[in-house]
């Protein structure tokens, strides 16, 4: 009997060892730093380093839903290394960058990783997800699930009827011009953005809807831009209500699988089992860059039109004045007056897209603070400009060579 128990114990230990060795190496290596609470905005830097690559596997945070990739992967062929004056290693150190991918004309011109992260890992997006959510509105309009961005939000989310959102259109949400009171201070524990995901919803009501419908109006819709993550979550509820599909499934169906993303991604869920539409997609940085290529392609996948004609052009120009010269806000995209635009998330996540140069820059980081536009934020803007300048210098050199060759 003792021998049998001993043998069984050996098998159990061996089995546990196999499970441990097969477990996610990030989870094993970083286990001592993984956070034990949901206060993402107030984690330490080591906790964020550990969690940002494992957000969909840290069960204390939230469950997640898979965004399934398809059978075909869109190739990202290598291009000539980008010649830049900038010190890339120092830039990444100052940004605390985990991943940096630069695509030009569909080719990889620069790809580097830091913070012991790699190409196969998935990093969280934070508000980069907002731009995916708004794009799904376009898909839902093209598919006939949503009639128009002029429709009232409460037509699609009946639980909002009788609230300040009765007078708010889909376009008001897309451009963050609802006029409803909201506090997006990431360093204030009592701000709306810190509290609304922890709200206890009324029975049968989505947690975001339950919180947002209590907020008062401050100004008439369309008269003031106010950054508001809660309203992006409402957009997500609206898309799900209109389509009858989970956001993760609809994204997989319309873009993720058919466009050729390489890996499955995930989307964190709120307490009422709905994707947190204003945040928290986990994906490989190369696949975030592929989404930039989808946008550059005009919302087409092969011969299939995924978005309405003109959607991208309307979504990525200044629809709202944010008070910064040369910049604005579109349909959940940050816009630049030169025609480029970007998806941005706190702590340094981003997808920068420049149609005139066929340029995409995808980056994931863990900035020391959630937002710091005067230091790391402005530094990232300078990096974008330096990449644009390098592309322009190449184009000029080729033009000079061509002129010389024709003159011979």
What CATH number did the domain enclosing 274 receive? Answer: 3.40.710.10
C-beta separation of 326 from 332 below 8 A: no
Share the mean pLDDT of the chain: 90
Last residue of a domain, one of 34, 57, 80: 57
Do 44 and 87 have their domain in common?
no
Quote the DSSP letter at residue 85. S
The lowest-confidence range among 2-6, 51-55, 101-105, 332-336 is: 2-6
Q: Measured between alpha carbons, how far is 195 from 285 in angstroms, rounded to an integer?
A: 29
Judged against a pLDDT cut of 60, whether residue 187 lies above it is answered with yes
Do 330 and 387 have their domain in common?
yes
Confidence of residue 15 (pLDDT cuts 50, 70, 90): very low
Confidence of residue 31 (pLDDT cuts 50, 70, 90): low
The lowest-confidence range among 9-13, 45-49, 144-148 is: 9-13
| pLDDT tens string 331-379 | 999 999 999 999 999 999 999 999 999 999 999 999 999 988 889 999 9
Confidence of residue 59 (pLDDT cuts 50, 70, 90): low
Q: Which structural domain, as residue segments, surrounds residue 323?
A: 64-407
Do 83 and 100 have their domain in common?
yes
What angle separates helix 285-296 from helix 128-142, to the nearest 10 degrees? Answer: 40
Do 42 and 144 have their domain in common?
no
Do 29 and 80 have their domain in common?
no
384 compared with 371, residue with greater pLDDT? 384
192 compared with 97, residue with greater pLDDT? 97
pTM of the model: 0.91
* Mean pLDDT of the region 237-248: 98
Element (H, E) at 360: strand 359-365
Do 29 and 168 have their domain in common?
no
DSSP string computed for 227-290: --HHHHHHHHHHHHHHHSS-HHHHHIIIIIHHHT-SS-EEEEB-TTS-B-TTS-EEE-HHHHHH
CA dihedral 136, 142, 144, 150 (to 10 degrees): 80
Confidence of residue 174 (pLDDT cuts 50, 70, 90): very high
- pLDDT value for 197: 67
Confidence of residue 20 (pLDDT cuts 50, 70, 90): very low
Do 118 and 167 have their domain in common?
yes
Q: Measured between alpha carbons, how far is 301 from 299 in angstroms, rounded to an integer?
A: 7
Last residue of a domain, one of 10, 25, 57: 57
Do 49 and 158 have their domain in common?
no
Last residue of a domain, one of 10, 37, 57: 57
287 compared with 26, residue with greater pLDDT? 287
- pLDDT value for 22: 35
User: Count of domains in the chain?
Assistant: 2
Judged against a pLDDT cut of 50, whether residue 298 lies above it is answered with yes
Do 126 and 15 have their domain in common?
no
- pLDDT value for 38: 81
| pLDDT tens string 124-135 | 999 999 999 999
Do 18 and 85 have their domain in common?
no
- pLDDT value for 126: 96
Do 14 and 104 have their domain in common?
no
* Mean pLDDT of the region 105-124: 97
* Mean pLDDT of the region 231-249: 98
Do 341 and 317 have their domain in common?
yes
């Amino acid at each position: 009997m003792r021998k049998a128990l001993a043998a069984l114990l050996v098998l159990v230990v061996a089995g546990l060892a196999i499970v441990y060795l097969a477990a996610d190496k990030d989870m094993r290596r970083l286990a001592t730093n993984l956070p034990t609470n949901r206060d993402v905005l107030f984690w330490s830097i080591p906790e964020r380093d550990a969690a940002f690559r494992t957000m969909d596997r840290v069960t204390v945070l939230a469950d997640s839903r898979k965004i399934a990739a398809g059978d075909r992967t869109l190739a990202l062929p290598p291009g000539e290394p980008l010649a830049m004056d900038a010190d890339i290693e120092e830039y990444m150190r100052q940004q605390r960058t985990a991943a940096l991918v630069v695509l030009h004309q569909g080719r990889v011109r620069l790809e580097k990783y830091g913070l012991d992260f790699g190409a196969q890992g998935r990093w969280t997006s934070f508000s980069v997800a907002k731009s995916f959510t708004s794009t799904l509105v376009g898909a839902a309009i093209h598919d006939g699930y949503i009639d128009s961005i002029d429709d009232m939000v409460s037509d699609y989310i009946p639980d909002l009827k009788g609230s300040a959102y009765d007078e708010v259109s889909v376009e008001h949400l897309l451009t963050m011009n609802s006029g409803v009171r909201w506090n997006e201070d990431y360093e204030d524990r009592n701000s709306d953005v810190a509290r609304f995901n922890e709200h206890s919803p009324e029975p049968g009501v989505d947690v975001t809807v339950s919180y947002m419908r209590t907020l008062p109006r401050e100004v008439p819709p369309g008269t003031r831009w106010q950054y508001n993550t809660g309203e992006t979550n409402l957009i997500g509820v609206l898309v799900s209500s209109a389509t009858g599909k989970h956001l993760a499934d609809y994204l997989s169906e319309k873009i993720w699988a058919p466009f050729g993303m390489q890996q499955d991604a995930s989307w964190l869920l709120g307490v009422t089992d709905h994707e947190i539409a204003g945040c928290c997609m986990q994906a490989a940085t190369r696949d975030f860059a592929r989404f930039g290529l989808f946008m550059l392609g005009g919302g087409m996948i092969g011969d299939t039109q995924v978005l309405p004609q003109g959607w991208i052009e309307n979504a990525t120009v200044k629809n709202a004045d944010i008070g910064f010269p040369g910049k604005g806000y579109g349909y959940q995209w940050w816009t630049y007056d030169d025609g480029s635009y970007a998806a941005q998330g706190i702590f340094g996540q981003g997808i920068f897209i420049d149609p005139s140069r066929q340029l995409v820059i995808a980056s994931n980081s863990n900035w020391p603070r959630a937002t710091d536009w005067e230091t790391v934020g402005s530094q990232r803007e300078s990096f974008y400009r330096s990449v644009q300048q390098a592309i322009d210098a190449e184009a000029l050199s080729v033009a000079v060579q061509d002129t010389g060759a024709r003159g011979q």
